[in-house]
Amino acid sequence: MRAVVKIGGSLLKNSPSIIKSLRKHFGGPDSEYVIMIVPGGGMFADSIRKICEKYSVGDDAAHWMAVLSMEQYAYYLIDKTGVNSVEGFVDAPGVSVLLPYRILRENDVLPHSWNVTSDTIAAWVARETGSRFIKVTDVDGVIADDIVQEWITAEELSKMEVTCVDSSLPGFLMENKMDCVVVNGMYPERVIDAVTGENVIGTHIKGNI
C-alpha cells in the first residue's frame, strides 16, 4: 500500500507529531506501507513569494526557488522526527520525507507558476508512484456554504474561488482521474484513517468520475 501525504506549511508546529504518529502505525522494515511525506512550502515559500514580487523575479527562477523552499521544510521535518529522507521514487517501507528538488528537475513537466504549489506537486508524485493521495492541512476540509463538504468533485472544486487547495489541483485531478482526501492534521488519527482508506472526517475530492 502506497500513500503520498502532503503536509502543509500551516502545520509547522504540529507536523512533527503527525509524522511520529504515522511512523508509530506504519513504520518498521516489515511494514506493508510505503508512505512518502511531501512537504509544503509554508513560511519558507511565503518569503520567496515576497522576494519575487518585490524584485520582479521571473517565473522559472521563482518556481525553483519555491521548490527549494519545500526542501527547507523537509529538513525541518527530518530534524524534528528523525525519519529518513528520499530524493526519488523509492519503495522504502515505512515513512520517509521527500526532498523534491532533484526529482522535479529531472522531470520538469509541471507549469512554472504560483498557481502550481506543493499541492499539485504532491498530486504529481502520487500519480507517478500510483499512491493514494492525502492532503493534510489545518482545516477540516473544503468549505462551501459554510459547511465542510464530505464529498465534492474536482470539477465542482474548480469553480470555487478560494479553497484550501491550490487552483491547479482540481484540473490535475480531473486530467489524471485521481482522487484526493483532505484532512485536518490537528487530529493525527484522521491522517492515519485516511492512509488506510477508512471513513474519515474531511473532504473526499473525486477526480475519477
Please state, rounded to an integer, the average pLDDT across all residues of the chain: 94
DSSP three-state, residue 4 = strand
Radius of gyration of the chain (CA): 16
pLDDT number for residue 144: 85
Is the model's pLDDT at 138 over the cut of 90?
A: yes
Q: Where does the pLDDT of residue 40 fall: very low under 50, low under 70, confident under 90, or very high at 90 and above?
A: very high
Q: Where does the pLDDT of residue 5 fall: very low under 50, low under 70, confident under 90, or very high at 90 and above?
A: very high
Say how far apart CA 119 and CA 123 lie, in whole Å: 6
Query: Which string of DSSP letters, residue by residue, matches 126-170?
Result: HHHHT-EEEEEESSSS-EETTEE-SEEEHHHHHT-SS-SS-TTHH
Q: What superfamily does domain 2-206 belong to in CATH?
A: Acetylglutamate kinase-like (3.40.1160.10)
Is the model's pLDDT at 168 over the cut of 90?
A: yes
Q: What number of CA atoms fall less than 13 Å from residue 87's CA on the CB side? A: 5
What residue segments make up the domains of the chain, in order of their start? 2-206
Is the model's pLDDT at 102 over the cut of 80?
A: yes
pLDDT number for residue 30: 82
pLDDT number for residue 74: 97
Is the model's pLDDT at 162 over the cut of 80?
A: no
